[in-house]
Structure 1
Amino acid sequence: MISIFLILGSLVSTLAGASTEYQAINCRKHSAVLTDFGGVGDGKTSNTKAFKAAIAELSQYAADGGAQLIVPPGRWLTGSFNLSSHFTLFLHKDAVLLASQDEAEWPAFPPLPSYGVGRDEHAGRFSSLIFGTHLTDVVVTGNNGTIDGQGAVWWDKFHQKKLKLTRPYLIEFLYSDQVQISNLTLINSPSWNVHPTYCSNVLIQWLTILAPVDSPNTDGINPDSSSNVRIEDSFVVSGDDCIAVKSGWDEYGIKFGRPTQHLVIRRFSCISPDSAAIALGSEMSGGIQDVRAEDITALSTQSGVRIKTAVGRGAYVKDIFVRRMILKTMKYAFWMTGSYGSHPDTGYDPKALPEIKGISYKDIVAENVTYSARLEGIENDPFTGICISNVNISLTQKPKELQWNCTDIQGVSSKVTPQPCAALPEKSIECPFPEDRLPIEDVKLQTCSASS
């Protein structure tokens, strides 16, 4: 009876509602609307059971062309729910998912194996709002529908140390392949917004992510121990790093041993007065390699691209390529930190030194900057192969006297103003940027349709 109801309900919805086209890695043969499963969009009624019932029913069509669940106009209060393979969650432009503020609507999970402990509280973590694990071909998209994390309650609990578990994220997939997250507005997440972890072939595009600039740990997009990832055409205002590239924490990340690699970031804009447009680390103990960032704009942001690591992290950050950045009103144009010393526990190995090498920046214009650069390697473990070329930095009216603060680094520079430190001597060179294309760059989207 449920299947008959699903088909008839979807047919009626299709006939009654206007069809909307959208771009996705795959279209779906079957379709249903949340109201077919008792969803109520009044902003007060919990829809957690409706989402779970809809996904359970639609998951039966995974082998028959897949299915999509359409969230129509309305305000849909919900706790955490899990998606399935060959599945699309589509949010209408006038749909708002409201994250429940009732902790009972958020299942408790153990810590991620590459972290060993929860980041807020060691005991574990709450499930993310939209979640999935071991999935293939999963899409979360819309025509700019909104996901509202209603994070203020969580931020207050965090500040008041009233949490027993780590705060939930908005969208998170684990151990999944062929993931698309696109065409959405995400606001007021309890913590991180988008967190693909142990994933491959991930496409993230056309997102607007907004949080107060003083909100705790509201990172925008955090690819974590994931490979072949493309992030593009997105805008983030955040209380933390707009993009934070990660791969596990100290001894746990070293043991898990899964890097983030082959990552493209392009046409990306950020506002974050206390953090970075793009951070590499600080949890990078599985390694970070082959990151290509271009056409980045940062406004009123603490730093452009920041490398964060420390003794005990181990692993590496290498083969990092950045070009065509516009930076306006920055504390630092360039920042590398070898003493970012937060650790999960006392079990980290003080002999686990990170390898930081092959870091290239070119074609950058920065305005109203306080410090040109703060580049701090690790004693007896210098950061090497740093290349900075074709950079013009104009300073604030009250700049710091020491513009290039360099310790334990090695590299070269070319056509950089103000003149870099002695550790970056002038050479007649142009810093490299790869000419090949990653497989994720050649993924073509299909034109699909949704009716609500």
Structure 2
Amino acid sequence: MRRSASVFRALLVFTAIVETQWPGVSGIYCKDMASGVYRPHSVTITEFGAVGDGVALNTKAFQNAIFYLNSFADKGGAQLFVPAGRWLTGSFSLISHLTLSLDKDAVIIGSPDSSNWPVIDPLPSYGRGRELPGERHQSLIFGYNLTDVIITGANGTIDGQGAVWWDWFHNHTLNYTRPHLVELMYSTNVVISNLTFKNSPFWNIHPVYCSQVLVEHLTILAPLDSPNTDGINPDSSTNICIKHCYVRNGDDVIVIKSGWDEYGISFAHPSSNISITNITGETRGGAGIAIGSEMSGGISEVRAERLRIVNSLHGIRIKTAPGRGGYVRNVYIADVSMHNVSMAIRITGNYGEHPDNNYDRNALPMISNITIENVVGINVGIAGILEGIEGDNFSSICISNVSLSVQSMHPWNCSLIQGYSNSVIPESCDQLRTDCGQTPVCYNGGSPSAVRAQAPMHKPSTSSLLNSLLKLSSL
């Protein structure tokens, strides 16, 4: 244990060094957004009869307070303040020009009674509930067609009390797909910040068909064996910034989606312009950063940097399958540190899971222009499994300046992919080997048309520092 702790501390020091060498460029999409917007009108939830004893149900109090504040929407907006206490509630809906603000000792608690979570229509890009055919439960905090919405606090807590939902899932007694903690649909200018989310019944934060969304300074927690408790899931959304978050959960830390098979293809609402920076994650059942598997509307222009992934199943993962259609392209992932990760990089072309039997088996996804660079990992099981689809080779997969301390004697397994590698330890698979004199083209994380010639890299710092860390760990 002492050796492991020493290595991990050294890894964190190394990560800090790496950050100074390869500074990330945050997306400019949300640079003008902030959680401190002044609201000229404010009320406290207790003014509407709420009781913070963790027993009284306060759904009506939240609904009535928000209904009252709607009258201030055209007068600079309003704030609903939740003071210290434990505020039990069912699902409630937000309005435009609203700040929902939690005191540091405030806990909004989701009701364990499913009747307090209304049932709503499935998402059009999914065609059904994600888990079950038909409708789905509405999220605890919900919004539709909103603008200028802020959910924030002094690190107050939103607790979904998900254990009862996880039991229903495991016992196959659910009638509808489980609810999220926060879902905003068709909304713009959204900020979610400075809060702790815990024990979500299903995914935690789900902006879908949204634009201009800033998610920052969140802590997201769920047991490592909790099913499908994804952290932050931008879905068919554009101009998304996610930064400075810590996630420890049972599934993907951050995962980008855009619709499911024929429904996502028909709805045709891509996810694009997504910036992810300064994320620390731990997940037993998922990946630190993932794309898919629902990506049928298309995903592009993704830039993820300064990621720390520990004690996890996968580090970086792209999931797709025949029938998805759509595309994943122009993805740049850099400055990643991993510790105790079973598989560092995985691209899966046969993930499966379809909404029904009506999908087009000839709808093949296009996966191209994926760049992963400046990665260091200690105690990694397998470096990577990269698998395309027969008749649909995944192209321009570029991996460079990667050093992994790998346990497996067969660190890479690649098929049906094309791409390039440079300065990769252990040496990458044949499909990614190249003569650097041929100057292959790889995506560099810039504008959609930005590419670069992959010249020989002279950055020995990653591998040399990794060797130093390994020597340190053996002391």
For residue 423 of structure 2, what is the amino acid of its counterpart? K
Match of 2:268 among 253, 257, 274: 257
Q: Quick check: 92-101 or 422-431, which moved more?
A: 422-431
Is 2:96 the counterpart of 1:88? no
- 1:433 is displaced (CA, Å) by 3.0
SS of corresponding position for 1:346: coil
Q: Distance in 1 between matches of 2:286 and 2:34?
A: 32
Partner in structure 1 of residue 182 of structure 2: 171
Contact 1:388–1:431 (CA under 8 A) maintained in structure 2: no
Q: Distance in 2 between matches of 1:274 and 1:196?
A: 22
SS of corresponding position for 1:270: strand
Matches within 5 A, 1:151-300: 151-300=162-311
For residue 210 of structure 1, what is the amino acid of its counterpart? L
For residue 95 of structure 1, what is the amino acid of its counterpart? A
Q: Distance in 2 between matches of 1:143 and 1:51?
A: 19
Is 2:59 the counterpart of 1:59? no
Partner in structure 1 of residue 126 of structure 2: 115
Partner in structure 2 of residue 11 of structure 1: none
Contact 1:336–1:377 (CA under 8 A) maintained in structure 2: yes
Contact 2:212–2:238 (CA under 8 A) maintained in structure 1: yes
Partner in structure 2 of residue 374 of structure 1: 385
TM-superposition CA deviations, 1:286-331 (whole Å, max 9, x none): 0000000000000011112200000000000000001100011111
Partner in structure 2 of residue 333 of structure 1: 344
Contact 1:142–1:182 (CA under 8 A) maintained in structure 2: yes
Contact 2:140–2:181 (CA under 8 A) maintained in structure 1: yes
Partner in structure 2 of residue 443 of structure 1: none
Q: Distance in 1 between matches of 2:325 and 2:188?
A: 27
Contact 2:207–2:233 (CA under 8 A) maintained in structure 1: yes
Partner in structure 1 of residue 425 of structure 2: 417
Contact 1:150–1:189 (CA under 8 A) maintained in structure 2: yes
TM-superposition CA deviations, 1:69-98 (whole Å, max 9, x none): 000000000000000000000010000001
Q: Distance in 1 between matches of 2:360 and 2:40?
A: 52
- 1:119 is displaced (CA, Å) by 1.4
Match of 1:35 among 27, 46, 61: 46
Which runs of no fewer than 5 residues in structure 2 stay unpaired? 1-32, 449-475
Is 2:59 the counterpart of 1:48? yes
Q: How many residues are matched?
A: 413
Contact 1:170–1:193 (CA under 8 A) maintained in structure 2: yes
Q: Distance in 2 between matches of 1:311 and 1:435?
A: 29
For residue 86 of structure 1, what is the amino acid of its counterpart? H
For residue 126 of structure 1, what is the amino acid of its counterpart? H
Question: Residues 78 and 427 from structure 1, CA distance in 2 versus in 1: closer, same or farther, beyond 3 angstroms?
Answer: farther
RMSD of equivalent CA atoms? 1.4
Question: Residues 435 and 315 from structure 1, CA distance in 2 versus in 1: closer, same or farther, beyond 3 angstroms?
Answer: closer
Partner in structure 1 of residue 157 of structure 2: 146
Identity in percent: 53
Contact 1:387–1:431 (CA under 8 A) maintained in structure 2: yes
Q: Distance in 2 between matches of 1:273 and 1:239?
A: 6
Question: Residues 427 and 68 from structure 1, CA distance in 2 versus in 1: closer, same or farther, beyond 3 angstroms?
Answer: farther
Partner in structure 2 of residue 389 of structure 1: 400
Q: Distance in 1 between matches of 2:127 and 2:112?
A: 26
Q: Distance in 1 between matches of 2:300 and 2:399?
A: 18
- 1:253 is displaced (CA, Å) by 0.4
Q: Distance in 1 between matches of 2:233 and 2:76?
A: 30
Contact 2:85–2:105 (CA under 8 A) maintained in structure 1: yes
SS of corresponding position for 1:233: strand
Contact 2:326–2:365 (CA under 8 A) maintained in structure 1: yes
- 1:402 is displaced (CA, Å) by 1.8
Q: Distance in 2 between matches of 1:77 and 1:47?
A: 6
For residue 425 of structure 1, what is the amino acid of its counterpart? R
Q: Distance in 1 between matches of 2:433 and 2:135?
A: 48
TM-superposition CA deviations, 1:168-205 (whole Å, max 9, x none): 10001000000111100001000100000000000000
SS of corresponding position for 1:423: helix
SS of corresponding position for 1:59: helix
SS of corresponding position for 1:434: coil
For residue 284 of structure 1, what is the amino acid of its counterpart? M
SS of corresponding position for 1:343: coil
Given the two structures, how large is their TM-score scaled by the length of structure 1?
0.90
Partner in structure 1 of residue 465 of structure 2: none
- 1:110 is displaced (CA, Å) by 1.2
Given the two structures, how large is their TM-score scaled by the length of structure 2?
0.85
Match of 1:131 among 132, 142, 145: 142
Q: Distance in 2 between matches of 1:212 and 1:427?
A: 46
Match of 1:306 among 317, 322, 332: 317
Contact 1:25–1:180 (CA under 8 A) maintained in structure 2: no
For residue 279 of structure 1, what is the amino acid of its counterpart? A
Partner in structure 2 of residue 73 of structure 1: 84
For residue 251 of structure 2, what is the amino acid of its counterpart? D
Q: Distance in 2 between matches of 1:431 and 1:366?
A: 23
Structure 1 residue runs of 4 or more that deviate by more than 6 Å after TM superposition? none
